[in-house]
């Protein structure tokens, strides 16, 4: 067994932090550890927490972790907080840790990691998924993943998390506009945080109304709309209960296993696309790629025709899957 | 992403009881604008909390902002808490209101650089890049 992986499995938090860095950087030195840890993952309940900036996601996550540590003291809990990188500089300000209480910040059964999206399409990188699995292998359960709700990130969090909490707060601009339909559709639990503010009940009614008007859901799970004051912990036990209830619902209905299978299949397809791309790129005749690229730039070829020409050059290669979006050089 | 192009990760922490974090935030933003990933932990961090955060976040550099005058107590405690976690090799920079006579003492304790209130953020960026990318001159050059 890989030394680093062994240390992670024994509970060494420094080794865990280092393996997370390698996974995040897709660093070659972490590959062996990742392979050794992979069989140990697949147990944790992954809880996504998303919503607009300032809604109180980080504060709520801290309150939930606190609740878990009090009521399930045998469980170790992890948080992965993902914030966007600047598209211009690549830098990021990762401030979610501010909401950890001193007690949680020093709790040896709590592991909190901040992650920048690093220009990944959608904000939830492949690295995030691997980081979650490393935390899972290390024995953390549940694992909370905080992301800013925006566009593609919603789809990503739905794929990654078993249970998605969408957090809203009254007074974040115009209510109806702030609550995007896409966010509602991915929510298993809706939280109206800042219930100490006026208009919280109104926000809740709007959400309930939108849920009624929204698309009918296949499974029997009806998303509850819960009020919280994350800063005082009010309503947090109810959210924790809903999280557990949703996990039990998934496990009873078989959706848990389906989710896992879908996620692994997506990972396999991604790995296949990457591998096929790399293999093909290594074999393509030098200069040939550039020549076709230039023909494309002169608009003598469409991208589809250009791809077909390049693939015809090496007819022995397997045809890549239709959505070959594995990137360009 | 290759190992050489990965962003530098920096923890910016405020130990002690003073309640101003404007300076810390200015530095945090400057580092972000220089392409670094900055983990900001907020006010009133104990040395243990700072070392724990440095460990979990696996940062390349720890930056401490201290305005309270308690740097000669707090800095050794942070360094000790880092060492206790096997993080003794993580460079520590200190910014804030530090009397000139304390600067050599902090550097002797193992602090990498000390910055006064007017230190240009450009210099902080350059120093961090130098120490992380491996071309540093550890002898302090306090501003
Ligand atoms: N009044 C009130 N403020 C809250 C509540 N929850 C969070 N906040 C505050 O809202 C701000 C943003 O919180 P944060 O958790 O960082 O939001 P995030 O951006 O969604 O992660 C902070 O100043 C919190 O103290 C709440 O229930 N009531
Ligand atoms: Mg947050």
Is A78 part of a structural domain of the chain? yes
Residues B66, B68, B72, B77, CA torsion sign: negative
* Helix residue ranges, H only, A115-254: 126-137, 152-160, 175-178, 181-186, 200-213, 236-253
Give me the residue spans of the domains in chain B: 9-133
Among candidate residues B36, B54, B45, the one with its CA nearest the CA of residue B124: B36
Dist. CA A137 → ligand 2 center (Å): 25
Is A327 part of a structural domain of the chain? no
- Six-digit token string for A227: 């009020």
Is A86 part of a structural domain of the chain? yes
Residues A61 and A107 in one domain: yes
CA distance A215 to B60: 47
CA distance A283 to A294: 19
Is A247 part of a structural domain of the chain? yes
Is A105 part of a structural domain of the chain? yes
Is A26 part of a structural domain of the chain? no
Decide which of A203, A236, A253 is a domain's last residue: A253
Q: What is the pLDDT of residues B49-95, one digit of tens each?
A: 999 999 999 999 999 999 888 999 999 999 999 999 999 999 999 99
- Kindly provide the ipTM of the predicted complex, given to two decimals: 0.90
Contact A274, A167 (CB under 8 A): no
Contact A89 B34 (CB under 8 A): yes
Residues A275, A42, A158, A88, CA torsion sign: negative
* pLDDT over 90 at B18, yes or no: no
Written out in words, the top-level CATH class of the domain with range B9-133 is: alpha beta
Bond into A142 cis (ω within 30): yes
Stated length of chain B: 143
Backbone angles phi, psi at B90, to 5 degrees: -80, 120
Tell me, using a 6 A CB cutoff, whether residue A147 lines ligand 1: no
CA distance A196 to A206: 17
Task: List the CATH number of the domain containing A67.
Answer: 3.40.50.300
Choose the weakest-confidence range: A80-84, A218-222, A312-316: A312-316
Distance of CA A72 to the CA centre of its chain: 24
Residues A113 and A132 in one domain: yes
pLDDT at B19 (0 to 100) = 77
Is A205 part of a structural domain of the chain? yes
Q: Could you give the number of structural domains in chain A? A: 2
Q: Where residue A267 falls among pLDDT bands split at 50, 70, 90?
A: confident
Among candidate residues A107, A242, A97, the one with its CA nearest the CA of residue A166: A242
Choose the weakest-confidence range: A119-128, A154-163, B90-99: A119-128
3-class secondary structure, A26? coil
Stated length of chain A: 329
**Cα-based distances in Å from A195 to A180, A200, A312:** 20, 5, 62
Q: What residues make up the domain containing A245?
A: 41-253
**DSSP H or E segment with residue A305:** helix A303-313
Contact A98 B55 (CB under 8 A): no
Residues A178 and A70 in one domain: yes
Decide which of A212, A234, A253 is a domain's last residue: A253
Q: Work out the end-to-end distance of chain B between its first and last CA atoms, rounded to an integer number of angstroms.
A: 34
Decide which of A209, A235, A253 is a domain's last residue: A253
How many angstroms away from the CA of B101 is the closest CA of chain A?
33
Q: Where residue B2 falls among pLDDT bands split at 50, 70, 90?
A: very low
* pLDDT over 50 at B1, yes or no: no
Residues of A in contact with B45 (CB under 8 A): 105
Residues A212 and A249 in one domain: yes
Residues of A in contact with B87 (CB under 8 A): 14
- Which ligand 1 atom is at minimum distance from the Cα of A229? 27
CA distance A96 to A112: 10
């Amino acid at each position: 067994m890989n030394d680093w992986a062994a240390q992670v499995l024994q509970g060494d938090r420094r080794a865990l932090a280092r393996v997370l860095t390698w996974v995040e950087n897709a660093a070659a030195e972490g590959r062996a550890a990742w392979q050794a840890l992979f069989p140990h993952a697949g147990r944790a309940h992954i809880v996504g927490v998303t919503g607009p900036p300032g809604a109180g996601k980080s504060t709520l996550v801290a309150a939930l972790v606190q609740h878990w540590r009090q009521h399930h003291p045998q469980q170790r809990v992890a948080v992965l907080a993902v914030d966007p990188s600047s598209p211009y500089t690549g830098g990021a300000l990762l401030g979610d840790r501010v909401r950890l209480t001193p007690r949680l910040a020093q709790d040896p059964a709590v592991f909190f990691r901040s992650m920048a999206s690093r220009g990944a399409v959608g904000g939830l990188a492949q690295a995030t998924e691997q980081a979650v699995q490393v935390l899972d292998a290390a024995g953390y359960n549940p694992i909370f993943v905080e992301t800013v709700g925006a566009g593609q990130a919603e789809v990503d969090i739905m794929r990654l998390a078993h249970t998605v909490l969408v957090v809203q707060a009254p007074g974040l601009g115009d209510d109806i506009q702030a609550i995007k339909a896409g966010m509602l559709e991915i929510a298993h639990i809706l939280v109206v945080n800042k219930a100490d503010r006026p208009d919280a009940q109104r926000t809740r009614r709007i959400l309930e109304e939108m849920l009624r008007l929204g698309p009918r859901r296949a499974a029997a799970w009806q998303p509850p709309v819960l009020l919280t004051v994350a800063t005082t912990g009010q309503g947090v036990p109810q959210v924790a209960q809903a999280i557990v209830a949703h996990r039990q619902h998934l496990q009873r209905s078989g959706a848990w296993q389906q989710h896992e299978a879908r996620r692994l299949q997506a990972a396999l397809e991604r790995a296949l696309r990457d591998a096929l791309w790399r293999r093909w790129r290594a074999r393509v005749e030098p200069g040939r790629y550039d020549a076709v690229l230039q023909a494309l730039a002169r608009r003598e070829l469409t991208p589809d025709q250009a791809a077909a020409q390049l693939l015809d050059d090496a007819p022995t290669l397997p045809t890549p899957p239709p959505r070959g979006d594995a990137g360009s050089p | 992403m290759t190992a050489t192009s990965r962003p530098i990760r920096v923890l910016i922490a405020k130990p002690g009881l003073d309640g101003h974090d404007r300076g810390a935030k200015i530095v945090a933003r400057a580092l972000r604008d220089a392409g670094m990933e900055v983990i900001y932990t907020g006010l009133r961090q104990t040395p243990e909390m700072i070392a724990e955060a440095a460990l979990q976040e696996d940062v390349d550099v720890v930056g401490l902002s201290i305005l309270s005058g308690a740097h000669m107590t707090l800095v050794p405690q942070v360094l000790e808490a880092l060492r206790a976690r096997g993080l003794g090799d993580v460079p520590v920079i200190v910014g804030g209101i530090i009397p000139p006579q304390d600067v050599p003492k902090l550097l002797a304790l193992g602090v990498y650089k000390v910055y006064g209130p007017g230190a240009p953020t450009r210099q902080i960026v350059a120093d961090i890049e130098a120490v992380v990318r491996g071309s540093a001159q550890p002898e302090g050059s306090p501003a």
